[in-house]
Every structure is written in C-alpha cells, then in structure tokens.
Structure 1
Amino acid sequence: MNIQWNTTHINLKELIKISRGDRDISYKYLQQFKELIPKRTESLKKSLKSEDRKMVRQILHQMSPQLQFFGIKDITKSIRRLELEYETMPIAELTELVQNILVKLDFAIKDVNLILEENY
C-alpha cells in the first residue's frame, strides 16, 4: 500500500494494522469516519448549546471507539472525564471541555479529508 499519511492530529497505526495494507479496507474506514464524525459533531454542538448534559455524554460515548481507533491525540482523557462527571461538572467547565474536543475533531476531520483527497 502506497498511501501518504501526512497527518498531524490523528495516528493511523490501528487503521494500518487492521487493514493489513489493503487500500479498499482503509478507504472504507476513512470514508466511514468522514461520514459519521461531522454529523455527530453537529449533534454535539446542538446538545451543548441546549445544555443537554446527558446527550453530550451519550454522543461522546458513541464516538469514543472510533476516535480511539483513529488515534486522535489528547481526546480520550477528556471524554472519560465527561462520561464520569457530566452531571456534576459546572456547565462552563463542561462547555470548555467539549469545545476543546470539537477543535480536535475538526482537525481530525481535515486530516481524514486530506488523506482521502491525496490518495483515493
């Protein structure tokens, strides 16, 4: 497989391991990320705006396995904290934590889009 992995915000070690060098399998996972994560980030933004703590937690919980699979840097610890403290954390702190996660997700989406554009 001769794919350029010029990424700064994701680590594709797991993707490479799972796909075993198969471009079609890699493409499938990258495309799935491209389709699902932007939709979920929009839902996350709406839930955050309406201060729906439970939904924020639920969305992040749903996204967590895929985000770990794509090795998004410095995101797992924040999601775990939110999963445990979402009910008791002050709303300002919850908002700041989620905003930081959203920034990282935006960069990860850009990395995935760039990989797809350059290689497929």
Structure 2
Amino acid sequence: MTIRFQADADLNHNIVVGVLRREPSSDFQTALVAKLEGLPDQEVLAIAAKQGRILISHDQRTMPLHFADFITTQTSPGVLIVPKTLLISEVIDSLILIWAASTADEWTNRIIFLPI
C-alpha cells in the first residue's frame, strides 16, 4: 500500500509544499484540509488513522506520549516527528525517500524521529 502523509497543524507548511513540488504524485494532506487546527493530539491521531495517513509533526513534547497511549487501543499508520532544527530540505528528502522506498505497512504503530 502506498504511503499517504498527514501534516499536523504545527508542521511547517513549506515541508508539505516542498514534498508535493518535488514529488507531485505523493499524497500529503495539509492540516487545513483535514481541519486539525486546535484539535487535541488524540483526535489528530484518530483522524490520521481513519484516513490511513502517517502523521508528520514537529511536536516532540506531547505527541510521543499521546501516540503511545493511542496504540494501546487503536492502530495507527504511524507518526514521524520532525525536529524544528532540521533543515527543511533534509526533511523533504527524508519524506520523499520514505514515500518512495517503503510501504505503508512498514510504519504501522511506529513512531520515528527524523532524521532516520
């Protein structure tokens, strides 16, 4: 199954734009389209899971804890945590590599911190 990404509301929008510009056939939904702004982490995780999308977030503080709790009762397509200190170009490269070289099944119930 092909990887589909979901941007969290805190994710730098330039990352989404950069991935889509370099790989137009990728599927990367913005937080605005998914209406994630202001929602608690558990709801964001549930929306991404319902749509079969790997969540991409800058939230290193609370998202890992909520993810750990979420997967005790539900299945997640996965979460990728992107430190804000990482160069945007490096994040874009990493996401395109993940999209091109792996399948969605490989990320189920996994949380990964970039860079990998």
Name the structure where helix makes up a greater proportion of residues: 1
Identify whether the pair has TM-score above 0.5, normalized to the shorter chain: no
Using CA pairs under 8 Å that are at least 6 residues apart, name the structure with larger relative contact order, 1 or 2: 1
Name the structure where strand makes up a greater proportion of residues: 2
- The TM-score with structure 1 as length reference comes to 0.29
